[in-house]
Amino acid sequence: MKGEAVTLEEIDKSFAKTAVVRNVSIAVQAGEFLSLLGPSGSGKTTLLMMIAGFETPSRGRISVGARDITFEAPNKRDVGMVFQRYALFPHMTVAQNIAFPLRMRRFGKAEARDRVDAMLATVQLEGFANRLPQQLSGGQQQRVALARALVAEPPVLLMDEPLSALDKKLRETLQIEIKRIQKRLAVTVVYVTHDQEEALTMSDRIAVMAEGELMQIGAPADLYHRPTNAFVAGFIGKMNFLDGEYLGQDGGEAVVRLTQTATIKGPVSIAPAAVGQRLTVAIRPEDLNVTPREGSSSQGLAGTVEAALFVGAVYIVLVAIEERPGKVFEARLPAAGGAQPFVAGDRVNITFEPHALRVFVNQKRQAA
Amino acid sequence: MTTRMRIGKFAGRAAASMTSSPSWRQYPLGVSVFLIAPLCLLLGFGFVYPVGRLLGQSFFAPEFGLDNYRRLLETPLYMRVLARTVFVALVVMSASLVLGYPVALAMARLRRGLSNLVMACVLLPLWTSALVRSYAWIVILQRRGLVNDVLLASGVISQPIKLIYTEGAVILAMTHVLVPFMILPVFGAIRAIQPELVQAARNLGAGKTTVFAKVLLPLSLPGIFAGCLMTFILALGFYVTPALVGGPSSLLMATLIGQQTTETLDWGFAGALSTVLLCVTLLIVLLFRKALSYNRGISNVA
């Protein structure tokens, strides 16, 4: 089996005049693991349903390899699918479930049995062939569903939040297992999830969706370090946001005012066109430095520690920004030495390297 | 998890599941007895006693012995009526299944609003008396009724044909009355099927017919069994409709029993007829249960 490319071209989808997917184009490469990531209502599941053939796009084209499947019947697409609630046939045994797609393709009995056995071994359920689905745990059921989706060796596998019904520990085990099987079979995977951690761990690339639009597509590290809009910045990983105002240029650097007393300078490439424009400044918790503030020596942003939490490798320090009532920054400091760095009520300065900042002009659709 | 399980419990392990359920033990014995006493009294005086007496009379009236049963078994007419009753009930059950299943399937797949509308159409006749519905069939099927008028006017026939007071009329009218009892359990069973199962089957390469044959039909079997059992048993004992739209040539057991009690006043023989009908009904319930457990057995091991 070899994975095939999946191409979505300018896909629109409306239900009763409500647009749920707007002008989405994604080229999934052969053998790639691509996640569609977004909050509920972002259109990611609708997109998957259109690839599977359970919905038809209002506009646009979907192809697998060189085949145009936009209007192909679901049973003719040769695209495997794993459902959120497993969707195993309750009246068939595990082996019958896995053999189902082979029966549909009129495989011989002997070959079907060999393939089912091989798949059972792949998902590590050798002894379970004659059990009924309801006699299996959730994780085992999802493995059967995975085996069933892959046994006919489809070039593409679609997964619709397959792990969201499982508990955290099992989810992590299965994430690794799915990844291992995907690598071994070289199948192209389109994986829908709302869990950004899951997307970051598993994907070659992530397509972030919001309100039916594709916000950004890229490798996990790309999205984390180089988000192109405030939504992606806030949705992938933890991010601190602050409103600012663009003041113009000074010596080849862009000047942005954050508060009455604090301005920052950064690379000019981040600057918007018009002086006086409102913008959003974003910075990761791990890029913040927190230093004690003595007297009136102000540097960076002045704040007061609300809480300092020890979470193993790092301390999370929550700092209320004094000039922005209600605004709390989260900083992650290395927990080296083990001494409690701050206690609630400490007066501190927050500083950061200008190049760690991201500046976005478009403030709409900012994730919390 | 599905209707299969529930019906399985009813059919197979009713006693076990009741004693093991915690709510069974939530009330003290005295309170439980007090709460079920009214129903027990009502059933005892209103049902068990008169039916028991009627059945008992079959052995004692006019004198002690099996004369009533001998007469029933030795008179070909009565055996024919019994055979006809079972036959008509089978036909009504099959017709209800054939007519009702597509309706149930459509109801389960329609949007909620439309589905409720169809449900209302199915239930509305249930709220109308069977008497009224039977008379409606008389209006339609009689010598100068709707059907004959249309056929005569269009020149298909030159003489009115006999439609009413035939076995066909009985089957037609009884199916009309009983089809909701098929639709409702089948609808329940189909609606309990996860929609993703259909999608999964399609995704795995099944066409629409195959999805029906391999997924929808097997998973709706519990509903089909329940519906068949219900329509069949109701049809076996149906009185009003056969009495009104049937004729002497389509006499059924219930009508015969009615005649014996109200016209010939032969209570002993009426009791014998009732006993036989009851036994046939029980036998068929047992057969259904066997079939159901056989069906469950297949899905468990094969």
- Minimal Cβ distance to B2: which of A78, A90, A130: A90
Whether residue B77 has pLDDT greater than 60: yes
Question: Are residue A245 and residue A326 in the same domain, yes or no?
Answer: no
Is B202's CB within 8 Å of A53's CB?
yes
CATH number of the domain residue A307 falls in: 2.40.50.140
Q: Exposed, middle or buried, A84 (CB in 10 Å: 0-12/13-18/19+)?
A: middle
Is A87's CB within 8 Å of B210's CB?
no
| Minimum distance, in Å, between the CA of residue A322 and any CA atom of chain B | 53
CATH number of the domain residue A278 falls in: 2.40.50.100
**Three-state DSSP state, A182:** helix
Chain A residues within 8 A of B200 when measuring between CB atoms:
81, 83, 87-89
Highest mean pLDDT among A259-273, B1-15, B113-127, B168-182: B168-182
Question: Are residue A102 and residue A179 in the same domain, yes or no?
Answer: yes
Chain A residues within 8 A of B218 when measuring between CB atoms:
91
Provide the pLDDT confidence category of residue B25 given band limits of 50, 70 and 90. Answer: low
HEC profile of B144-161: CCHHHHHHHHCCCCCCCC
Chain B residues within 8 A of A87 when measuring between CB atoms:
194, 196-197, 199-200
Residue A301 resides in a domain: yes
Residue A1 resides in a domain: no
Tell me, what's the pLDDT at B294?
A: 62
Q: How far apart are CA B159 and CA B73, in angstroms?
A: 40
Is B204's CB within 8 Å of A83's CB?
no
Residues 6+ apart with CB under 8 A from B216: B105, B190, B193, B198
Amino acid symbol at A352: F
The ipTM estimated for the assembled molecules is 0.84
∠ CA B115-B118-B122, nearest 5°, is: 135
Chain A residues within 8 A of B192 when measuring between CB atoms:
none
The overall pTM is greater than 0.95: no
Is B203's CB within 8 Å of A132's CB?
no
Q: Which of residues A234, A258, A275 is at a domain's end?
A: A234
Total domains in chain A come to 3
A interface toward B at CB cutoff 8 Å? 52-54, 73-75, 77-81, 83-85, 87-93, 100-101, 104-105, 130, 132, 134, 148-149, 152
Chain A residues within 8 A of B204 when measuring between CB atoms:
75, 100-101, 104, 148-149, 152
**Contact of A160 with A192, CB cutoff 8 Å:** yes
Question: Are residue A344 and residue A257 in the same domain, yes or no?
Answer: no
Please, what is the average pLDDT of chain A?
89
Tell me, what's the pLDDT at B57?
A: 87
Strand partners, A9: A61
Question: Are residue A37 and residue A94 in the same domain, yes or no?
Answer: yes
Tell me, what's the pLDDT at B5?
A: 41
- Minimal Cβ distance to B203: which of A81, A93, A132: A81
| Minimum distance, in Å, between the CA of residue A92 and any CA atom of chain B | 7
Residue A364 resides in a domain: yes
Give the single-character DSSP code of A106.
Answer: T
Highest mean pLDDT among A50-54, B77-81, B263-267: A50-54
Whether residue A92 has pLDDT greater than 50: yes
Q: Which fold has domain B66-301?
A: MetI-like fold (1.10.3720)
Select the residue from B203, B215, B219 to test the A interface by mutation, using most A Cβ atoms within 10 A. B203
What mean pLDDT do residues B274-293 have?
87
**Contact of A111 with A164, CB cutoff 8 Å:** no
Q: How far apart are CA A24 and CA B223, in angstroms?
A: 44
pLDDT tens for each residue of A311-353: 888 889 999 998 888 889 999 988 776 667 788 888 998 988 8
- Minimal Cβ distance to B204: which of A101, A132, A134: A101
Cβ contacts from A onto B, under 8 A: 72
Whether residue A120 has pLDDT greater than 90: yes
Both tokens of A70, joined, read: 């936009």
**Contact of A360 with A229, CB cutoff 8 Å:** yes
What are the extents of the domains in chain B?
Answer: 66-301
Is B205's CB within 8 Å of A75's CB?
yes
Higher-confidence position of A358 and B209: B209
Q: How far apart are CA A47 and CA A44, in angstroms?
A: 5
Domain span at residue A340 reads 289-351
Chain A residues within 8 A of B4 when measuring between CB atoms:
90-91
How many angstroms separate the Cα of A246 from the Cα of each of A2, A242, A276, B107?
51, 13, 5, 61
Question: CB B205: neighbour CB atoms within 10 A?
Answer: 21
Q: Is the dihedral of CA A113, A119, A121, A123 positive or negative?
A: negative
Q: Which of residues A201, A234, A267 is at a domain's end?
A: A234
CATH number of the domain residue A185 falls in: 3.40.50.300
How many angstroms separate the Cα of B111 from the Cα of each of A118, A120, A158, B108, B208?
42, 39, 27, 8, 19
What mean pLDDT do residues B255-259 have?
90
What percent of chain B is helix, strand and coil (3-state, nearest 5)? Answer: 80, 0, 20
Question: CB B234: neighbour CB atoms within 10 A?
Answer: 17
